[in-house]
Amino acid sequence: MHLKPAIRRLLCLLLSLCLAFTPLELAADIYQDLPDMGAASGSVLTPLQERQLGKAFMRYIRATQKVIDDPLLDDYINTLGMELVNHSEARGTRFTFFLVEDPQINAYAGPGGYIGVYTGLVLTTRSENELAAVLAHEITHVVQKHLLRAFHENRNLSLVQGAALLAAILVGTLAGGDAGLAAAIGTQAAIQQQQINFTRQNEKEADRIGIDIMQQAGFDPRAMPTFFARMGRANSAYATSLPEFLRTHPVTNARIADALGRAETYSYRQHEDSLRYLLARAAIREMTFQDPADAIIHFRSALKEGRFRSQAAARYGYALALHRAERHDQAAKEMETLLKQHPQVVEFLVTASRIDMDRGKRKLALKRLEKAKARLPYNYPLRITLAELYLRAGKPRQAQKELLGLRRSYPDKTRIYRLLARASADQGRQGESHQYMASYYYLMGLLEPARLQLEIALRQPNLEEYERARIQSQLQQVKSEIEQLKREEKKH
């Protein structure tokens, strides 16, 4: 039986659990630490193993879903998420929040603290409190290990079967459908277990603890029952096309009542929407228009008729649409107005600099970002954008310096490796460039392109022996994963 491409990628990435590969480094052998998922003793994943599982899952997500790579949106969702994490029992633990460009109303919590939120859900929220409610709920699922508990109920699955099952639970129909997954896993037990979902008790616990997290972080805890009640009322409206979020997080009247009762134990606390939330929604809204001309009409009409919650956010969306339509001078004019009103807002500094670069104002663009970086030296969107503009300005050394610093803090950001590959190539270091591209493709879940890049790197002249040995080790790991995938396909 031929497997669907998405299922092939799923198995490929899950098999990589046995060969953990980190960019440009040979990971330690983890075979001795792997749990026996079929053992009657009921082994539990260690924190290290859960992180490895999470990384493999994230590679699968990148290979099959449109994970948003925009530094501003990425930084916003992670800043909001970590604000909540730092007011939970997981304080000090690393979580990774990411946005998926998809109109579906959905969110999920993966192993290792990976939490995905669909853009459709962000646009459905009516306040930052509601978005925080969803994140707090998903954070609790991770902290309480709800998914791993459900996963561990079946003790007759092998490691690969169990890992595939866990991924199927997390992404639901995104894995290619029940039939495809059944073919990939190949056991009736897996077919039964892929129906595992969070229990009602899990959901109530996630609501209860999530509400506590919201209150401690300064958000309005009443937003959680309010949002879920609105989702619950959507049942009749959506009929057969029920949002995925409601399938995986079933809403009942009793659950809403319990959540409201919990929220009412706290005094009312007003939390106004942050400008960053409103700007993120405007940016996401602008992305929903396939033709930038339609986005221009939408935001221009909203500004003219006063149909906005924030004039700054509406003007920002208008500027983004103008920029995408390559009407750079008009876009720059809008950004100039915004910067006069909000001179320190990172979204405006970054966007204005991108626009200036596109309209030939390179010195102005670089000077603005360099000045902003001096004030905010650890800001990811500022630094990654500055590195990109350095490359466009023909300054690869400055770009590489920024990127190497960012890689130490953000080792899993795919954008960093893609830019490092370009910076190395621009300096004539082709072997290094191909290694960075191999890391980029691997993190994207694309094993064949990663293999090709490593093979090209090996053919470069004047390689040092230690570098050749490192590349060969990486190549062997990638080839091993590809071969395991081929063997698995032949079985089905």
Separation CA 402–CA 99 (nearest Å): 24
Query: What is the CB neighbour count within 10 angstroms for residue 272?
Result: 10
Query: Alpha helix locations (H) across 69-113?
Result: 71-85
Q: Which helix (H) or strand (E) holds 88?
A: none
Separation CA 139–CA 148 (nearest Å): 14
Q: Which of 212, 208, 224 is nearest to 128 (CA)?
A: 224
- Long-range contacts, stretch 405-409, CB < 8 angstroms, 24+ apart: 406/380, 409/378, 409/380
Residue 295 to residues 56, 276, 287, 317, 359: CA-CA distances in angstroms? 36, 20, 8, 8, 21
- Phi, psi angle pair for 108, to nearest 5°: -155, 155
Separation CA 354–CA 480 (nearest Å): 42
Separation CA 225–CA 134 (nearest Å): 10
Give residue 42's Cα distance to chain centre.
Answer: 31
Separation CA 366–CA 254 (nearest Å): 56
Tell me if residue 217 falls in helix, strand or coil.
coil
Separation CA 422–CA 22 (nearest Å): 20
Separation CA 430–CA 417 (nearest Å): 14
The set of catalytic residues is 138, 207
Kindly report the length of the chain: 492
DSSP class of residue 18? G
Tokens read off for 30: 């983890």
- 285: amino acid identity, one letter: R
